Amino acid sequence: MLAPLIHKSDVTVLEDLNSAEERAIKSVAINSARQQGDGGGREGKQYFRLLNDAGLIAPNGYLRMTELVTECRAFFGQSYCHSSGLDEQKIFDWWRFVNGSSKTRSLHHPFVFLAVQSLAEFRILSPDTHVPVIPKHRLDVPRSLLPKCKGALHRDSDSYGAIRWSKDMSRRFVSCSCGMRYMFVADSGDIDASMVPSGYGERYKQRFDKLLATGCSTADAAREIGISTTTAVEWERERTRRDVCPTKKHTSHIDIEALRRCWGELVLAAPPQGRISAAFRERPAIYRKLIKYDHDWLINFNRRNRGLHTTWIYGSKYELTEARKQTVQQAYDELMHVEPPVHITRTAIARQARLPLSVRDKGSWSEAFSNFSETYSAYVDRSLSWVCALAEPLRPRNRHELARLIHVNWSSLNDRQKLRAQNCILSEKSRRRMKLAG
């Protein structure tokens, strides 16, 4: 079926592919030809069984999304993934379509069926041969070779911590005890030149708050502690939110005991049929305080004294507890390490934390999501920092490749971001030099 499609005028689209990536791309073509010959594809449950046999389904039945995306990039290669549009969002949409949680009747990106099938079949047939792509440089680079921390609040007693790797082994991360966090390209010959700040710790935030409290402007405070204006604006917004909505103190043990006694009297005095609901309707404020400050006791007490019928009080299932705050924080941290970067919105955090999308704008949940979601401008700046830190062979060659890589619209960038994006794009001189070297 493929032979009639080959012509002498064909040109090579994907270059610099290794033998493993070539075999992976060939397997997609073979699976495509087989499906066309058979006249159909697999059912959803067959894909679930295929992913489960490949070790990509967790014991709780959830898809290991991060591992699947990482494996696809390593299996097919970054160039092929970019040219075919195989990214995390398309894989996520495909999984929702397969498991029946999507309302759409057809998938706009059917290529994902073939790609996931080829990857899963390879993992099943070769469980001991599939290893992640590891760079050829030494993994045990000592911290003594790192340049001195350039943080404005760095002290002589501060030092670097452990060096961490990104999931695709292309970048490294290291933190200094002063609060500065750095990122640098793994295969860069000049660590000093490729080492760029990627975050700041509490020492910088506290110093920033003190400067603003003394009447210093945002720009001057940012200049003094060596952070970007964009970061300073985000910190100022967080500081304003903290001032407007201060954190409530925990209820004392005596108050909790009083709430317990009051709630117990309400429940036991209510009629046996639906007594929990009746107690809630009479004194909802007591229930809300207990669900916030004494969640476990309230759930156990209601379970023992629920009466003849079980009536779930609407909204209590998704009260914002400390454990769920940690879940939102963990989802944000995981999204920050996704490559290429993704826009960390309320929807993205809710999906990553496996929470219903309806909680995004409810009460205390809204404040929690606002503290972690980022603006579009902040996302663009973070994405451009990531692109500029890539090695030359991995950088986009034009603005269209850049827009497709980090999912931004060129017309939506401001003048500063467009100038910075031009510096991230691989120049014609560099492309010729790489072509000659190849």
Q: Which residues of the chain have pLDDT under 50?
A: 128-141, 244-248, 308-316
DSSP H or E stretch at residue 173: strand 171-175
Q: CA 340 to CA 42: how far, in whole Å?
A: 30
Q: What's the distance, CA 133 to chain centroid?
A: 21
Residue 108: predicted pLDDT: 64
Number of H helices, E strands in the chain: 21, 4
Distance from C-alpha of 31 to C-alpha of 273, rounded to nearest angstrom? 60
- pTM of the full predicted structure? 0.30
Which residue, 270, 307, 269, 312, is CA-closest to 291? 312
What is the C-alpha to C-alpha distance for residues 110 and 222, in angstroms, rounded to an integer?
48
Residue 346: CA atoms inside 13 Å, Cβ hemisphere, count?
14
Task: Retrieve residue 115's tokens.
Answer: 């790609």
Q: Give tens-digit pLDDT for 388-428.
A: 888 777 778 787 888 888 888 888 888 888 888 888 786 65
pLDDT of residue 204: 92
- For 176, phi then psi, to 5°, come to -100, 150
What's the CA angle centered on 62, arms 373 and 112, to 5 degrees? 85
Polymer length in residues for the chain? 438
Distance (Å, whole) CA 364 – CA 111:
41
Tell me what pLDDT residue 309 has: 41
Cα distance between residue 47 and residue 363, in whole Å: 39
The candidate with the shortest Cα–Cα distance to 365, out of 350, 345, 352, 344, is 350
Output the DSSP codes for 184-203: EETT-S-HHHH-EEEE--HH
Burial (CB < 10 A; 0-12, 13-18, 19+), residue 200, is: buried
**Of 293, 296, 289, nearest in space to 266 by CA:** 289
For 385, the enclosing helix (H) or strand (E) is helix 376-388
For residue 107, what pLDDT is reported? 66
